[in-house]
Amino acid sequence: AQSVTQLDSQVPVFEEAPVELRCNYSSSVSVYLFWYVQYPNQGLQLLLKYLSGSTLVKGINGFEAEFNKSQTSFHLRKPSVHISDTAEYFCAVSEWGSQGNLIFGKGTKLSVKP
Amino acid sequence: DARVTQTPRHKVTEMGQEVTMRCQPILGHNTVFWYRQTMMQGLELLAYFRNRAPLDDSGMPKDRFSAEMPDATLATLKIQPSEPRDSAVYFCASGQAGDWNEQYFGPGTRLTVT
């Protein structure tokens, strides 16, 4: 069965520092991969997605993620964070040919400090 | 700007009362998902529908929860009777099957049962 592990529940970082949020998944078939962001008191918003092709995926707000099939990882990165990036980030996986449901990780709370 | 809408945004009710949450998926989307989010459990999938038919409701407590799609523009989640442990934020999401399983989330209904 597919599963998603977000290795860090909380990541504190100073403004303008780089950040990496880690995500590992398990699946016996090919997958689609997603990162969603949830700002306080809001719903989840799609940040970026990997479907196929280039393993480096660029998303909104300067975020990018790299798909590594051999390590079954899909880590999210940003070279310089802003206070406004403070939010919870969810990694999600969906198997090719599945019924359409996503399996979400537990989330990582990114806290950007001035 | 197509969006998923949810009503009400906030609901406070007493234990034992019936609660109905409503969701309007994005026009043209044929898959609707209901999630529950709590601090303890994170994001949990309760049920989802394809073309208004339930595909999976295994995440939903059957004795008190029910989910329906009376038509393609309305999904409902009902709790009867409600209990304090049902306090959570309930999200609806919609998507188009085959569209890489990307989901679009509504703003959520924050339910407090006293």
What pLDDT is attached to residue A78?
98
Contact present, B105 and A45 (Cβ < 8 Å): yes
Those residues whose C-beta lies under 8 Å from the C-beta of residue B113, and which sit 6 or more positions away, are: B13, B14, B15, B17, B19, B82, B83, B84, B85, B86, B87
CA distance A4 to chain B (A): 12
Number of neighbouring beta carbons within 10 Å of residue A103: 19
Q: Which residue has the higher pLDDT, A95 or A109?
A: A109
Note whether B15 and B82 are within 8 A (CB): yes
What are phi and psi for residue B86, nearest 5 degrees? -85, -5
A5-51 tens-digit pLDDT: 999 999 999 999 999 999 999 988 888 999 999 998 889 999 999 98
pLDDT of residue B99: 61
Contact between B100 and A94 using a beta-carbon 8 Å cutoff: yes
From A89, A79, A91, select the one nearest A23 (Cα to Cα). Answer: A91
- Cis, bond preceding B61 (omega within 30 deg of 0): no
pLDDT band at B73 (very low <50, low <70, confident <90, very high): very high
Q: A49: nearest CA in chain B?
A: B102
Q: Is A104 part of the contact surface with chain B (CB cutoff 8 Å)?
A: yes
A100 in contact with B, Cβ within 8 Å: yes
Contact A43 B105 (CB under 8 A): yes
Chain A environment of B106 (Cβ under 8 Å): 43
B59 in A contact zone (CB under 8 Å): no
For A:52-71, CB contacts with B below 8 A are none
Widest distance between CA atoms in chain A = 44
pLDDT in tens, B6-32: 999 999 999 999 999 999 999 999 899
pLDDT, residue A1, reads 67
CB-based contact (8 Å) between B108 and chain A? yes
pLDDT score of B57 more than 90: no
Cβ separation A101–B97 shorter than 8 A: no
3-state secondary structure of B16: coil
Q: Judging by beta carbons within 10 Å of its beta carbon (0-12, 13-18, 19+), is residue B70 exposed, middle or buried? A: exposed
Check CB contact under 8 Å for A100 and B101: yes
Q: At A101, phi and psi to the nearest 5?
A: -85, 150
